[in-house]
Amino acid sequence: MYDLVIIGGGPAGLTAGIYAQRSRLNTVLIEKGGVGGQIALSDVIENYPGFPSISGSGLMEKFEEHARGLGLEIKFDEVINITLDGKAKVIKTPEGELRAKAVIVATGAKPRRLGVPGEKELTGKGVSYCATCDGPFFRQRPVMVVGGGDTAVKEAIYLSKIASKVYIVHRRDKFRAEKMHQEKAEATPNIEFLSSHVLKEIKAENNVVARAVVQDLKSSAVKEVNVDGVFIFVGINPTTDFVEAEKDEGGFIKTNQKMETSIPGVFAAGDCRTSPLLQVATAVGDAAIASYMAEQYVENY
């Protein structure tokens, strides 16, 4: 039986692993895909203290190196569910079962789909949810970004260095994105804002994206914009289906300040939990608390 199983290998999971190793808990981290989480797909991070500018993958390599350097065991597997056997937590994966005294869920979140006609069929054919992955395919070609949060505005700035033109379609006049990001986008000559607009449909030619149909919500006018790529950044859905702990209406796991969920001995940290701000810095803070509380829980087990 492990003292602690950490599920997820993004910033929160790796931080929890660092703290757990230093507390000498017998720990394993389970990761489904590659270590690093969604942030590893970010072109540049400029608000993680100590690193004025670093790529998401570069920062996550440092986290991983730190955790592995302390001897953290990382298993690549997918957790199907967590059940309880008395006080023990049983973590089921396709490979079998693990038992643990405590669990930290740090599974993060995935991009939300918009649900407009053409989106599903044209994903991978011009529709994308990752600018760093797919941006280079659109060199000197026009693209559209949908959304008004940090991800949309930041990724639009990144895309403006590759694409000939970037349209930002946002359903309101006000943006959620940090003012600094917004100002930078406004000062970028090849970015055009289509505020108070919504994307209605994505049209193809020869089975790849060719046009986006947008509607001006103020005048109700509908127009087609020629674009070869449509990047959708309209928020995120947490990866929490496999946990039975109490969640909010968005599916994010509810915790208290100690990162305790509604199940004793199960903690949550990072983007998968209800939080007013989803950042690497906050994920790291959550994970430090979760790991500390897990250690207390294991000591009193």
* Contact map string, positions 11 to 50, toward ligand NAP, x by CB under 6 A: ------------------------------------x---
Candidate list 43, 133, 228, 272, residue with the active-site label: 133
Give the separation between CA 136 and CA 143, rounded to whole angstroms.
Answer: 11
Selection from 115, 81, 110 nearest residue 98 by Cα: 81
Least distance between ligand NAP and beta carbon 64 (Å): 20
Nearer to ligand NAP, 5 or 144 (CB): 144
Selection from 85, 53, 66, 105 nearest residue 246 by Cα: 105
Give the separation between CA 86 and CA 214, rounded to whole angstroms.
Answer: 55
234 lines the binding site for ligand NAP (CB under 6 A): yes
Largest interatomic CA distance in the chain: 64
DSSP H helices, 116-267, are 131-134, 150-160, 179-186
Stretch that binds ligand NAP, among 75-83, 119-127, 141-149, 187-195 (CB under 6 A): 141-149
Nearer to ligand NAP, 187 or 277 (CB): 277
215 lines the binding site for ligand NAP (CB under 6 A): no
Quick check: is 272 catalytic?
Answer: no
Give the separation between CA 159 and CA 164, rounded to whole angstroms.
Answer: 9
Give the separation between CA 141 and CA 185, rounded to whole angstroms.
Answer: 18
152 lines the binding site for ligand NAP (CB under 6 A): yes
Residue type, 217: L
Candidate list 85, 130, 216, 271, residue with the active-site label: 130
Quick check: is 130 catalytic?
Answer: yes
Give the separation between CA 237 and CA 253, rounded to whole angstroms.
Answer: 11
The residues facing 96 across adjacent strands are 93
Quick check: is 134 catalytic?
Answer: yes
285 lines the binding site for ligand NAP (CB under 6 A): no
Stretch that binds ligand NAP, among 7-15, 135-143, 168-176, 240-248 (CB under 6 A): 168-176
Q: What is the footprint of ligand NAP within residues 46-75 (CB under 6 A)?
A: 47
Q: Which residues are catalytic?
A: 130, 133-134
- Chain residues binding ligand NAP by CB under 6 A are 47, 114, 147-152, 154, 170-172, 176, 178, 198, 233-236, 277-279
